[in-house]
Amino acid sequence: MKTKEKKIDICCICGKKTIMSFEHIPPKSAFIKGRVNLYQGTDILGRDRLPWDLTGARYHQLQKGSGFATVCQACNNFAGHKYVKAYKLFVQEGIKQLCDRINGYIETSNFINIKPLNIIKQIIVMFLAINPPSVGKENYDLRSFVLNPEKKDFNTKKYGIYIYFLKGFISKFIGISALLRDRRINVLSELAYFPFGFVLEINPPEGYKEIYNVCNIAEIANDYDYDEITNINLKIPILETHTIFPLDYRTRNEIISNRIEQRVRELLKKKF
């Protein structure tokens, strides 16, 4: 029986060239079970279908669940031991909070007995894992932040970490991208998997709260110590994801309406 060759590459977290291990994103213990169909943007763009209609699109089925072989075993074990348990509890509480928010019981989310610094470090681990090693190399302060559990002094001017509740059917794993928005180039990465979505932005603009209507949890990264337990009340927006594009939270009705308007403009151009 032929044994499968082990993948040797550069770890997206520590930057060392070694044998890769499969990193579940989000962590497997956070309700990541079963097979997942992974679609590439190049296989979806240009199709004359609504973005949630994936009929006939090519995909790669991940038998182990969502994730990638981009992290070495040492970093995988390190994050699993230091941060994953806190993130798992955060996800469990987030599901309850989202249900209460959708049903109109509460307007903000009060997370009880959580470890904010551990959770934020796990979120950054996931962002590093879905991006090429060059992102960690160019932003070494992100690497050093997660490789040292006690490290705080997170650069909130250089990085924004936005959180939202995910209401939609499309999960996203978007590496660092340049997005032209309101005459400004935004450099960001996005990952979304029930119940949360996260955005990592490099050099966020001033007034990002008003521009994006987001909750930036990077601001609390320096307020708590590693393993410190506290209660936090967060005003997390509930956003829908129906496309593969970053920062696109249009509802299905809005997408259909935009599509109709585009078709009308195309017809008018042909006529005149």
Least confident window among 39-43, 98-102, 166-170: 39-43
Other C-beta atoms closer than 10 Å to the C-beta of 29 total 16
Rounded to whole angstroms, the Cα distance separating 218 from 190 reads 15
The β-bridge partners of 3 are: none
Residue 2 pLDDT grade (very low, low, confident, very high; cuts 50, 70, 90): very low
Range 143-158 average pLDDT: 94
Q: What is the model's pLDDT at position 150?
A: 96
Q: Smallest Cα–Cα separation from 179: which of 153, 200, 157, 206? A: 200
Q: What is the model's pLDDT at position 1?
A: 41
In a domain, residue 179? The reply is: yes
Tokens representing 73 are 């075993």
**Type of residue at 119:** I
Q: What is the model's pLDDT at position 208?
A: 62
Q: What is the model's pLDDT at position 240?
A: 87
The β-bridge partners of 67 are: 24
In a domain, residue 192? The reply is: yes
Q: What is the model's pLDDT at position 23?
A: 82
Rounded to whole angstroms, the Cα distance separating 265 from 175 reads 32
Other C-beta atoms closer than 10 Å to the C-beta of 70 total 24
Residue 29 pLDDT grade (very low, low, confident, very high; cuts 50, 70, 90): low
pTM of the complete model: 0.86
- β 60-62/159-166 pair status: unpaired
In a domain, residue 8? The reply is: no
Give the tens place of pLDDT for each residue, 152-182: 989 999 999 999 998 877 788 889 988 887 7
DSSP single-letter state for residue 156 = T
Q: What is the model's pLDDT at position 211?
A: 65
Alpha helices, H only, 153-251? 208-212
Give the tens place of pLDDT for each residue, 177-229: 888 877 788 899 999 988 999 999 999 887 666 566 778 999 888 999 999 99
Residue 101 pLDDT grade (very low, low, confident, very high; cuts 50, 70, 90): confident
Contacts of 205 (CB under 8 A, 6+ apart): 184, 186, 211
In a domain, residue 32? The reply is: no
Contacts of 166 (CB under 8 A, 6+ apart): 192, 193, 194, 195, 196, 197, 239, 241
In a domain, residue 23? The reply is: no
Helix (H, G, I), strand (E, B) or coil at 58: coil
- Between 212 and 264, the higher pLDDT residue: 264
Whats the size of the chain, residue-wise?
272
Range 61-74 average pLDDT: 77
DSSP single-letter state for residue 195 = T
- β 238-239/159-166 pair status: parallel
Q: Which domain holds residue 93?
A: 84-271
Whether residue 5 is predicted with pLDDT greater than 80 in this model: the reply is: no
The structural domain count of the chain equals: 1
Tokens representing 142 are 């992100």
Answer whether 232's CB lies under 8 Å from 89's CB.
no
**Residue 39 CA, distance from chain mean position:** 16
In a domain, residue 36? The reply is: no
Give the tens place of pLDDT for each residue, 107-130: 678 899 999 999 999 999 999 999
Question: In the chain, helix, strand, coil percent, each to 5?
Answer: 35, 25, 40
Rounded to whole angstroms, the Cα distance separating 93 from 88 reads 9
Residue 58 pLDDT grade (very low, low, confident, very high; cuts 50, 70, 90): low
